Every structure is written in structure tokens, then in C-alpha cells.
């Protein structure tokens, strides 16, 4: 499996997240496009066999991705406080992204723990 160098890999996701963060400002952006890029990133990481990676790499990956999810959740929280009606659909889309990302990551971590438990038994 071809695994990325995580710092640079997640820097591209950070760049996308940074452009989405202006959702809470009066500035315009291509929110649909940016959210699609984030969803595509999620689809890409879901296609990798994270269970086959070494423990340190897996833990670093989950740390990076958990942090990303928390950042997006913060963007959503702030957007709900401001609640610009024109951007409501983008906020809903981000909520769905957070939910599916969290569920996928929790399931992945659960499967990883089960795999490690079997390996030590």
C-alpha cells in the first residue's frame, strides 16, 4: 500500500479547511467546491487500508484526522451562532461531513483495537 507522508498529506486538508473557515465571515468563497474537496479527501482516506499500517503511523493519522474534525466542528459551531441564512445549506453539509467522518473514524479505531487484540491473543 502506498501511504502518504502525513504532515504534507494533511496540509492539503488544512488548506481546504482554511478556505471553508471564512464561512463565518462576510467574504464570499466557493463553499460548494471546497466542501466537495473535503468530501473527496474523506473518500480517498476511506479507500486506504489503515488497519494494515504500523501502530505509530495509525495513531499519527487518527490524531491528524481527529484534529481536522474538531476544527470543522468549531467552524460549524461558529456558523450556527452567526447563522447567515444564505449559508445555511453549507452549514448543513458540514454537519453531515462531521457526522460521517466521526462515525467512520470511530469504526476504524474500533476495528483497529479488535485487530490488535486478536494479534496479542
- State the total domains in the chain: 1
Whether residue 109 is contained in a domain is answered as yes
Q: Is 3 helix (H, G, I), strand (E, B) or coil?
A: coil
pLDDT of residue 2: 57
Report the chain's mean pLDDT, rounded to a whole number. 90
Whether residue 46 is contained in a domain is answered as no
Assess contact for 72 and 95: CB atoms under 8 A: no
Domain holding 102, by residue range, is 55-120
For residue 82, pLDDT beyond 50: yes
Whether residue 15 is contained in a domain is answered as no
Residue 9: pLDDT band (50, 70, 90) is confident
Q: Tens of pLDDT along 19-60?
A: 999 888 888 888 999 999 999 999 999 999 999 899 999 999
- 98-119 mean pLDDT: 91
Whether residue 11 is contained in a domain is answered as no
List Cβ<8 Å contacts ≥24 apart for 31-38: 31/87, 31/90, 32/90, 35/90, 35/93, 35/94, 35/97, 38/13, 38/72, 38/97
Whether residue 24 is contained in a domain is answered as no
Whether residue 7 is contained in a domain is answered as no
pLDDT of residue 117: 78
pLDDT of residue 25: 84
Assess contact for 1 and 49: CB atoms under 8 A: yes
Q: Is 47 helix (H, G, I), strand (E, B) or coil?
A: coil
- 72-77 mean pLDDT: 95
Whether residue 103 is contained in a domain is answered as yes
Whether residue 105 is contained in a domain is answered as yes
Amino acid at each position: 500500500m502506498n501511504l502518504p507522508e502525513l504532515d504534507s498529506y494533511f496540509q492539503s486538508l488544512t488548506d481546504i479547511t482554511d478556505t471553508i473557515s471564512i464561512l463565518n465571515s462576510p467574504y464570499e468563497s466557493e463553499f460548494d467546491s471546497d466542501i466537495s474537496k473535503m468530501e473527496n479527501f474523506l473518500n480517498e482516506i476511506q479507500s486506504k487500508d489503515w488497519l494494515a499500517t504500523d501502530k505509530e503511523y495509525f495513531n499519527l493519522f487518527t490524531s491528524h484526522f481527529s484534529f481536522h474534525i474538531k476544527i470543522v466542528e468549531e467552524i460549524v459551531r461558529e456558523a450556527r451562532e452567526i447563522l447567515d441564512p444564505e449559508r445555511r445549506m453549507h452549514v448543513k453539509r458540514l454537519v453531515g461531513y462531521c457526522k460521517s467522518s466521526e462515525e467512520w473514524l470511530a469504526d476504524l479505531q474500533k476495528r483497529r483495537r479488535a485487530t490488535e487484540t486478536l494479534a496479542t491473543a
